[in-house]
Structure 1
Amino acid sequence: MNFPDWRTSSAGTRTRAALWLASQIGEGGVFTKAQLREAFPGVEQIDRRMRDLRQDGWILSTYAQERSLAVDELRLVKIGGHVWEASYKSNVTRSASDRERRETLARDNFACAFCGIGAGETYTDDPARSGQLSVTWCGWAGPAGRYVTTCKRCRNPLAGNDSSGAAYEAAALLAPVEMRTLTEWIRVGHRTPQQIDKAWALVRLLSKADRDDLLTRLGPIP
């Protein structure tokens, strides 16, 4: 397919970013944010304009969703709507309604679907930071729906300093049942809530007095 030249196009930044991805990267291609910024020198918020393409069905994977990628890499999984075409009209909801936000948070047990952090909880590997949750467009209408609950750190995975080696070392310490759960999360691209997560999501909403009462009712653990 022939695309308009992203370098000479008079379209907006989002459209030019789409043309660059489609013509220079292609579906399945891997790139870095540094390459994107080099292609658009001096353009402010080019990263955000690229992410906005998810609202039109473009699927972009990061290290948070696809652990085979390096922390500074992204993959163009799917080219979505041809936003550069004059006749193109977006037919997607760009932001979650109040109802969709409530339903998404409840479905994800009021925790990040990728790392499991709850609002206000501190990260075990970074105690100085706490979870800040939001409901964002996930770019595809899969089993989890059109929206997903994410924390600020998972929305910006390139700010982290993790590596595939560290991830492997952590995974190797898991018990077999935990390993099966982890491999399933890797396959689906997000953290699937477990029954204990659902229970903890409800416990987090209790007052201290109610938590103490719950401990009494649960009794000694065999």
Structure 2
Amino acid sequence: MVLPSWTDEKFGTMKRAGLWLVTVIGEGSVFTKDELRQAFPGVSQIDRRMRDLRDHGWQIDTNREDVTLEPFEQRFVRQGEPVWEPGKGRTKSAVPITATQRRDIMTKDGNFCRSCGISGGQTYAGTYEFAQLDIARRQVRQPDGALKVELVTECNRCRVGGRQLTADPAELLAHVRQLGRLERRVLAGWIADDRRPFSTVERLWADYRSLPEESRAKVRQVLEAEGTD
């Protein structure tokens, strides 16, 4: 299918920006803010119009999501909805998160990633990479079966996937040798089975911890109402 030209001004700025990314930049490629502004001279708030594509499933990373990028660079990771097609690109799939909402959610989430537990500014184990916290949208199934988007704090790694790390078996073994006999026996069992069995309570705690605050509050309310006896 032949795509429309990104220079066709009958399309709105957001749709033209999407076509420019697809036909000029290409998925996986990096572009700069200057390149974007040069492509759309005289267009006010072109940066914001491009960010609007994220509300339609497009992934465009900055150095907040991809620490390999410079502050003036962005990476076009993945195309979302073809917003230039008739009937597409009209209704936003998500409402922008305000700075106040971001602060409130992070405070309620304890200022750490609800998925892995790392705090903002803390380094990932075995790296010099600092964790950056941001707000992620998570689909939460409601009692009636419907899905609702709730907001939760996650680090940049949990949001966009793991980085390429260098494994060090020798260092791991050095730590293993520091374990007591019982701990080493337990670990050896997990390794032999290639899995770690979690108790029901541990699994439930992990599931609870990763919930957005709105859902965590509902769980707490039910448990408080029912008691622990």
Q: Return the structure number with greater relative CO, CA threshold 8 A, min gap 6.
A: 1
TM-score (norm 1): 0.47
TM-score (norm 2): 0.46
